[in-house]
Structure 1
Amino acid sequence: MASVPKIPGGVWPEGTVYLDHAGATLFSQSQLTSFTKDLVENVYGNPHSQNVSSKLTHDTVEQVRYRILAHFHTSPDDYSVIFTAGCTAALKLVAEAFPWVSPGPESSGSRFCYLTDSHTSVVGMRKVTMAMNVTSIPVRPEDLWSAEKLATATSNPNCRLPHLFCYPAQSNFSGTRYPLSWIGEVKSGRMCPVSVPGKWFVLLDAASHVSTSPLDLSVHQADFVPLSFYKIFGFPTGLGALLVNNRTAPLLRKTYFGGGTAAAYLAGEDFYVPRQSVVERFEDGTISFLDVIALKHGFDALERLTGGMENIKQHTFTLAQYTYTALAALRYPNGAPVVQIYSDSEFSSPEVQGPIINFNVLDDSGNIIGYSEVDKMASLYNIHLRTGCFCNTGACQRHLGISNEMVKKHHQAGHICGDNVDLVDGQPTGSVRISFGYMSTLEDAQAFLRFIIATRLRPSDGQHLLQATPGEAAVPRAESEVQSAVPATMDRCSPSPQEDAPTGSQVWNDLPTAVDAVALHPPLPEATRTQQTPSEQAAGVPEGGLGPHVVTNLYLYPIKSCAAFEVTKWPLGKQGLLYDRSWMVVNHNGICLSQKQEPRLCLIQPFIDLQQRIMVIKAKGMEPIEVPLEENSERAQICQSKVCADRVNTYDCGEKISSWLSKFFGRPCHLIKQSSNFQRNARKKHSKDQSPGTTAALSLVNEAQYLLINRSSVLELHQRLNTSDENRKVELFPMKDLISRFRANIITNGTRAFEEEKWDEISIGSLRFQVSGPCHRCQVICIDQHTGQRNQDVFQKLSETRERKVNFGVYLMHTSLDLSSPRFLSVGSQVLPVLKENAECHHLPSSKEHQDVIS
């Protein structure tokens, strides 16, 4: 194995390990600098005009076309470059313009054939062919690789019926590289994907392949080659091209015509003459000419930094081969593999394997750990990877053994492409993928391997695999050195679709003048106190920690992702605790900030004074600032934002608080509040058993109106986290610290850990709540809510405790709420749960017993 050269390239925040180059590679600083300088020094006009600036644009764009063709070792004599919005748009163009022949009395019609290991955008072409009654035929890779099938398949060269065969040069799922020789064999008739008479054309999906490897179109003359440039350069995005073989171009048919494509036409009569060249016919409207000009600087930077695609090919493959070898060798103490790798090769050569590794992590019993849990843990180590099925269901099914029936079953269970439902009935719905780019380094590969070792094995297990650079012998390293190589606290972690804690709020217009809202809760009533266990006394659990279920703490979070405001009694609104998550901090683009992007949000402390109708906001080093609880409808600046894909109407709280927040965070920020006349409704899964005509309303929460956690559940986690070192004088994770990390509204005592997950509903006094499901945790629980520091141990230990699903706490929703008079939640109130049907828990009353109690 050759040693890995260090190729300078992309720029990203220090400490980030970016391993999703197959999704989008990163751009270089020099590329952007050069492009910006070009724009500053030149004026580029619309290329459809005739002035000097437009002529400059036209000539520069044409020069870029030549540069693209030269990059693929061809020329305008053989290929044309049609700019598109991306690879998907190029594929759609071929599907709509290919000269399909529908079946008829004298013809069986064209065939559209595609490899099952293809991107969604290739498979989606069949919807166009179906509209023309053209037969679509999926072909498995193993069938095309079969020598026997190839020998018996024949084609009639005298029949000119057009067929199209599509396959990827490189699988975006596994990195498998399919033979480019198939192009010539299929076109010549020596190899037929399907034995039918006619002439076969070949579409080579090159998007994944050309990101890290050269492609010589002078040798492998595919008819159509779609690609996306951000896969190669990182910038610009949203720009691709279709390279069309000039011998095939005249066959393409065009129906729609847009600006720039017509040589002449009449508006009042069906008269249209297309332009002569295939490029002018198919580039509807004004192309994204500034993005096209940016490509020149991308080619310049790529060649200057790397010396060319052959170097990138060798560099990225060597990193992938090294990582694959080490990853495949990792074993648990019982000999079980740590990962299951999905590959058609053994990474023996860059001719058969690209720099992509696809796998699932296993536990020591061989069970798959869901990819969403792996992704969350990776983000705590600041490792950016990709999970799911990667828009390649065919490859996902083949490698993971997922049948068609299972795919349908997973969808019926609620799983859709791109979500975080990683396991259904213990079966994986996807996997984990890492991929290397030209600026990837050996340190990136080793950081990833250290992450796998640190989260799955003892510190010393497998570390010898990391000591050698590719081509050298592995040398063990001291355990202390190994431990220091895996930091316990990371400086940042990547965003995730979910935030940690939910609940709700609503404006209350008839509040009493005095409400008990203090920062300390009083002792629990005598009737609720029971004898503490030694473990509870050691953990600092208050008296009354066990026995009848009682509310021990109440918290609201007026500003989403900011610090908690603890109360002993608080009014309810239609959306949950009054003013809970009514405000949120947004960046200069109006995007909500959470602790995943900005951990220091937890250092912002809001206090609500119901008598003065203000919220006081405090932070260390800052003067306190006041914000009115209600908007001034005449002066409010209305704006919109999003919470969990829901669009919400809000208003800006003004420049004064904006300047205060911007000063604290060191970047432009605003405070916005949900408009009082705007209602955001809960999704159906959280609004079951609602009365007819009613819908649960949410504030700026993610999931539900309330979040409840059980002290017994926290205690179990506390014991697991603090038993690793019995001689430690100071607890790493005190109970109060752990409770605050879960950002719940209602804290109860309990009789045993996680019993709350068996509850169907609860009553607190006269108030009834539906338990709408467990809270699926994200990386926010790794943030110390008092310091803003991260430590991944909490998430990792919880993942181990909960058997790969990081659930903690349950969501609550109002089943019905009469607000004709003020309603309150109070510390010390008794909690009466109702069990789900068939739930096994001997410490809780049955549903009938509970109904007797509350009646």
Structure 2
Amino acid sequence: MAGGAAQPGAELLNFAQFRDSSAQRLAYGYGARSLRELRAREFGRLAGTVYLDHAGATLFSQSQLTSFTKDLVENVYGNPHSQNVSSKLTHDTVEQVRYRILAHFHTSPDDYSVIFTAGCTAALKLVAEAFPWVSPGPESSGSRFCYLTDSHTSVVGMRKVTMAMNVTSIPVRPEDLWSAEKLATATSNPNCRLPHLFCYPAQSNFSGTRYPLSWIGEVKSGRMCPVSVPGKWFVLLDAASHVSTSPLDLSVHQADFVPLSFYKIFGFPTGLGALLVNNRTAPLLRKTYFGGGTAAAYLAGEDFYVPRQSVVERFEDGTISFLDVIALKHGFDALERLTGGMENIKQHTFTLAQYTYTALAALRYPNGAPVVQIYSDSEFSSPEVQGPIINFNVLDDSGNIIGYSEVDKMASLYNIHLRTGCFCNTGACQRHLGISNEMVKKHHQAGHICGDNVDLVDGQPTGSVRISFGYMSTLEDAQAFLRFIIATRLRPSDGQHLLQATPGEAAVPRAESEVQSAVPATMDRCSPSPQEDAPTGSQVWNDLPTAVDAVALHPPLPEATRTQQTPSEQAAGVPEGGLGPHVVTNLYLYPIKSCAAFEVTKWPLGKQGLLYDRSWMVVNHNGICLSQKQEPRLCLIQPFIDLQQRIMVIKAKGMEPIEVPLEENSERAQICQSKVCADRVNTYDCGEKISSWLSKFFGRPCHLIKQSSNFQRNARKKHSKDQSPGTTAALSLVNEAQYLLINRSSVLELHQRLNTSDENRKVELFPMKDLISRFRANIITNGTRAFEEEKWDEISIGSLRFQPASSSLSADKQIWMIPQHHEVPLSGSLWSLEHGACLCFGALSQMPGDLH
């Protein structure tokens, strides 16, 4: 990390001083157990990665997986419903794990039973379907289903089951339960046993707020009732988020139902959860469906069914996921050995959260405005009231919210893994962000759905950003995140040099040479003139320079504004007093997606854009496309295309060049399916020879695949008022459009903002030649004002006409700092940056004729 004289509010909070100044004892790490050694030994795969989504899923340790695999290799585990020796071993091991689970929560089989489910959601669904609801009738008002609005979707979804029985569902706001004077009292009727169910989370998965466990006893005793109705209240405690980093003592807080998911605690296995049922409540549960293993006796030809006696045997339909259950034993062993127990995890993760919260809340712009808005019900004063979750939105210096999708994309470039949206908790999202019911409906009508990237609607946020810590999180993780916020929001000013957050070490892509003249020097290429062997019906780019006619349908800038030049415009050669000639200075294609560029001075156009542009991609052993985010060394792969010989030559340092045919052999091609930007594409494998070459270079199994020539993938275009709805653009393996264009003037403007100088020397963190290459554009232009391209609605290059894929961008005036070593897919439709500097556009038509 680079350091320097930071302006006020930009320096990292000193951790030692923070601990010394704390009013309470703060624990970091696990005593004699070295956290640094733990990370290196158990989580080596995290090297260079900052993982801050433990509330979504924590990470499994290496030793858990190793011991579990060893167990499976050395033992034979059969179906527990059988009676043979291997089945008996499975049954006994599963029962031992049940006991281990109950001991973990400080209880025993005398008080609770463990019903294994597919996860927390399945456990909640089981309660909704099995609870002894009483429908309203002449002599009864019926049961009530009451839930805290700060609840996961899976809790709120229980009301669909109760609605089918005409049972009333009642949402209760946290502030109403926190206000003692607003608490309802039960109608005095000791003989009324009408069952009601109250659900609330031990910890909010949105904000990390920890709700009082004392509510369990208060509600069950009748001293605290969510609504004033006669009857008996049962309590479901959603413990999924809470138990991931904190102990839960069920001997003290005896909830009737406790659902949870084990991957939240151990990271592995996924798809396995449990419902802990209080044995005093268990006899009340009703069962309709019965599956294998749950029946003591039944008849196939007659309505005769006798359930098994124990609640576990009655509700575990079919064969449980017994191997995953066995994995839990190794999870408990590893967790205890590595950390010493959940109390230590609770203290460690809270310390990290409190430090990060304190540092984040103190960040200020030079004008004093806060950098973030944090959504919390606590001051992070104690782990009893706050879990290791921080929820926030980033602000600009005017107090406007920066969309969470932009934060997410920038974080990914710094290899920081976080989560954005509403986190399946719309109630908490509405409460903290001030989103009304009408606004939620309006957002949906505007096209926003849960989990998408629509982060702002009419300037209002639809969600937020969440970071969360796990037992293996470190101070370095917290500080890397804080440096990321500082580097991307607190820009240098007044000659001062801020702390610069350098993302994880990775190879830097080969920089494209900056061209000072309008006609670039021709680089050494193995291809002849493309006109000699251009495909029939294709068009060819003329020798550079090529004039660009940019048509802006937006109102022109005021003349006073147009005559004021910026330093970047002067450096780019824009004439004083108006726009200069628009000239194409460079032409690049990227034959292999995410690999190095191939520069040309003239090139054929195909129906999908520049011929062979992004026609190939590298995939891993599972067929998943690799990008520079996962494999930075992709940028060191240099492809060259020889149209005359119909081959692509691939080079890399330390490797012998290898040739790949441009077209597939239809008789020998191995067809496969891959995915690009959520689209399924038909591809074929380019063979074992190139696969071995790539696998050797990357040190892991890889394949080169190419989009099938008979497969067409169309762009998802937002049609303009002048565009026919039937007009579509055929795509190669690009993300969203056929071409990427970049304006050198815009990059110069960005270059100046990213670089600062001190009193002694020039500090150039982002050289211009490197910065241009980060955008991975096909067409580089010169002669326009910075960001003038944002107003272009149509572009002509020679006889070709183009339509921008997105003609209007966000009004956000801030610029995110861009790390040097990653592919940056900036485009109007991918990044909502007004100062995006890179425009994504697709060919509409050519005159005369049609590209398609």
1:364-390 Cα shifts (integer Å, max 9, x gaps): 332223323333343444433222222
Change (3 A) 1:843 1:72: closer
TM superposition shift of 1:265: 2.9
Contact 2:568 2:749 in 1 (8 A): no
Matches within 5 A, 1:537-576: 547-576=580-609
Secondary structure in 2 aligned to 1:572? Answer: strand
1:600-619 equivalences under 5 Å are: 600-619=633-652
Query: 1:72-83 alignment to 2 at 5 Å?
Result: 72-83=105-116
Instruction: Report the CA distance between 1:493 and its aligned residue.
Output: 34
Maintained 8 Å contact 1:548/1:830: no
Moved more, 706-715 or 533-542: 533-542
Note the alpha carbon deviations across 1:390-437, whole angstroms, 9 max, x for none.
211111111111112222233333332223332333322222222222
Contact 1:497 1:644 in 2 (8 A): no
Conservation of the 8 A alpha-carbon contact between 1:504 and 1:577: no
How far apart, CA to CA, are the structure 2 residues paired with 1:189 and 1:159?
12
Q: Is the 8 A contact 1:453 1:463 kept in 2?
A: no
Residue 14 (structure 2) aligns with: none
Q: What does the per-residue CA deviation read over 1:722-756, in whole Å, with 9 as the maximum and x for residues that have no partner? A: 45469767965444433322112222334312222
Partner of 2:121, secondary structure, is helix
Deviates more, 1:297-306 or 1:755-764: 755-764
Note if contact 1:26-1:234 (Cα within 8 Å) is conserved in structure 2: yes
Pairing partner for 1:829 from 790, 807, 813 = 813
Deviation string for 1:48-88 (max 9, x for gaps)? Answer: 22111111011000000011111111111221111111111
Q: Conserved in 1, the CA contact under 8 Å of 2:115 and 2:275?
A: yes
Is 2:622 the partner of 1:589?
A: yes
Distance in 2 between residues matched to 1:597 and 1:628, nearest whole Å: 27
Between 157-166 and 87-96, the greater mean CA deviation after superposition? 157-166
Structure 1 residues 472 and 127: CA distance shift in structure 2, 3 A: same
TM-score under structure 1 normalisation? 0.77
Residues 524-569 of structure 1, C-alpha deviations (whole Å, 9 max, x = no match): 9999999999866856999999623343332222211112222233
- Measured at CA, do residues 367 and 700 of structure 1 come closer, stay the same or move farther in structure 2, by a change above 3 Å? same
Report deviation, 1:209: 1.0
Q: CA deviation at 1:145?
A: 1.2
CA distance in structure 2 between the aligned counterparts of 1:351 and 1:168, rounded to whole angstroms:
14
Instruction: Report the more deviating stretch, 157-166 or 449-458.
Output: 449-458
Cα gap change, 1:642 to 1:478, in 2 (>3 Å): closer
**What TM-score does the superposition give when structure 2 sets the normalisation length?**
0.77
Is the contact made by 2:544 and 2:584 (CA closer than 8 Å) also made in structure 1? no
For 1:848 and 1:680, locate their aligned partners in 2 and report how far apart those are by CA, in whole Å. 27
Contact in 2 for aligned 1:606/1:615 (Cα 8 Å): yes
For the 8 Å contact 2:113–2:312, the answer to whether it is kept is: yes
Q: Is the 8 A contact 1:500 1:743 kept in 2?
A: no
CA contact (8 A) 1:551 1:828 kept: no
263 and 369 in structure 1: CA distance in 2 versus 1, 3 angstrom threshold: same
- Structure 2: distance between partners of 1:176 and 1:681: 45
CA distance 1:722–1:218, change in 2 (3 Å): closer
- The alpha carbon displacement at 1:604 in A equals 1.4
Cα distance, 1:826 vs structure 2: 31
Given the superposition, is the C-alpha separation of residues 467 and 484 from structure 1 closer, same or farther in structure 2, using an over 3 Å criterion?
farther
Verify the 8 A CA contact 2:185 2:223 in the aligned structure 1.
Answer: no
Partners of 1:484 and 1:644 lie apart in 2 by 37
Residues 608 and 729, structure 2, Cα contact 8 Å, conserved in 1: yes
CA contact (8 A) 1:503 1:706 kept: no
Q: Distance in 1 between matches of 2:173 and 2:675?
A: 42
- 3-state SS of paired residue (2:833): helix
Bigger shift: 471-480 or 327-336?
Answer: 471-480
Structure 2 Cα separation of the partners of residues 187 and 496 of structure 1: 83
User: Does the Cα contact within 8 Å between 2:573 and 2:783 map onto a contact in 1?
Assistant: no
In structure 1, stretches of 5+ residues that fail to align are 1-14, 771-820, 832-841
Q: Contact 2:152 / 2:424 at 8 angstroms: preserved in 1?
A: yes
- Map 1:457-606; keep pairs closer than 5 Å: 457=490, 547-606=580-639
Aligned 8 A contact 1:95 1:128 in 2? yes
Cα deviation digits, residues 81-127 of structure 1 (max 9, x gap): 11111111111111122222233333332221110001111111122
Q: Judging changes above 3 Å, is the alpha-carbon distance between structure 1 residues 469 and 380 closer, same or farther for their aligned structure 2 residues?
A: closer
Cα distance change of structure 1 residues 729 and 433 upon mapping to structure 2, 3 Å threshold? closer
Shift of 1:708: 1.9
Summarize the Cα distance change of 1:36–1:131 in structure 2 as closer, same or farther, 3 Å threshold: same
Decide which moves more: 703-712 or 203-212: 703-712
Task: Tell me the distance in 1 between the aligned counterparts of 2:479 and 2:529.
Answer: 24
- Report if aligned partners of 1:504, 1:704 keep a CA contact under 8 Å in 2: no
**Per-residue Cα deviation, 1:244-283 (whole angstroms, up to 9, x for no partner):** 1122222222222222222233334443332222211221
The total of aligned residue pairs comes to 777
- 1:221-264 CA deviation, whole Å, 9 max, x = no partner? 11110001111112212211001112222222222222222223
Q: Distance in 2 between matches of 1:333 and 1:636?
A: 60
In structure 2, what is the Cα distance between the partners aligned to 1:740 and 1:473? 16
Distance 1:530 1:351, change over 3 A: closer
Q: Does the aligned pair in 1 maintain the 2:246–2:346 contact within 8 Å?
A: yes
Which residue in the other structure is 1:649 paired with? 682
1:761 aligns with 2:794: yes
1:159 equivalenced with 2:192 (yes/no) = yes
Deviates more, 1:81-90 or 1:142-151: 142-151
SS at 2:540 equivalent: coil
Change (3 A) 1:750 1:501: farther
Cα 1:249–1:492 shift into 2, 3 Å: farther
Residue pair 1:495, 1:597 contacting (<8 A) in 2 also: no
Q: Please tell me whether the aligned partners of residues 381 and 490 of structure 1 are also in contact (alpha carbons under 8 angstroms).
A: no
- The answer to which of 152-161 and 236-245 deviates more is 152-161
Q: Structure 1 residues 23, 156: CA separation in 2 closer, same or farther (over 3 Å shift)? A: farther
Report the counterpart of residue 775 of structure 1 in structure 2. none
**TM-aligned CA deviation for residue 194 of structure 1:** 1.4
Change (3 A) 1:469 1:707: closer
Q: Structure 2 vs 1, CA of residues 521 and 219 (structure 1 numbering), >3 Å: closer, same or farther? A: closer
Give SS of 1:485's match.
coil
Cα 1:421/1:514, change in 2 over 3 Å: closer
Q: By how many angstroms is 1:171 displaced?
A: 0.8
Cα 1:566–1:844, aligned 2, differ >3 Å: closer, same or farther?
closer
SS of equivalent residue, structure 1 residue 137: strand
Does the Cα contact within 8 Å between 2:201 and 2:211 map onto a contact in 1?
A: yes
CA shift for structure 1 position 165: 0.9
How big is the shift at 1:645? 1.3
Which has the higher mean CA deviation after the structures are superposed, 583-592 or 71-80? 71-80
Q: Which residue of 2 aligns with 1:343?
A: 376
Contact 2:402 2:812 in 1 (8 A): no
1:686 match: secondary structure: coil
Q: Label 1:159 to 1:383 Cα distance change in 2 as closer, same or farther (>3 A).
A: same
DSSP 3-state at the match of 1:760: strand
Query: 1:504 and 1:244, CA in 2 relative to 1: closer, same or farther beyond 3 A?
Result: farther
The answer to whether the Cα contact below 8 Å between 1:559 and 1:585 also exists between their aligned partners in 2 is yes
Q: CA deviation at 1:488?
A: 32
Asked if 1:430 is matched to 2:463, the reply is yes
The whole-number CA distance in structure 1 between the counterparts of 2:498 and 2:226 is 43
Q: Deviations over 1:413-470 (max 9, x none)?
A: 3332223332333322222222222223334333333433344447999999999999
Task: Report the more deviating stretch, 221-230 or 121-130.
Answer: 121-130
Q: Is the 8 A contact 1:340 1:360 kept in 2?
A: yes
C-alpha distance after superposition, 1:781-823 (max 9, x if no partner): xxxxxxxxxxxxxxxxxxxxxxxxxxxxxxxxxxxxxxxx999
Q: Distance in 1 between matches of 2:494 and 2:806?
A: 60
Q: Structure 2 vs 1, CA of residues 248 and 716 (structure 1 numbering), >3 Å: closer, same or farther?
A: same
Equivalent residues of 1:522, 1:568 under 8 A apart: no
Task: Give the RMSD, CA atoms, in angstroms.
Answer: 10.0
Contact 1:337 1:366 in 2 (8 A): yes
Partners of 1:476 and 1:120 in 2: CA distance: 43
Bigger mean CA offset, 615-624 vs 146-155: 146-155
* Comparing 123-132 and 54-63, the one that deviates more: 123-132
Deviates most, 423-432 or 215-224 = 423-432
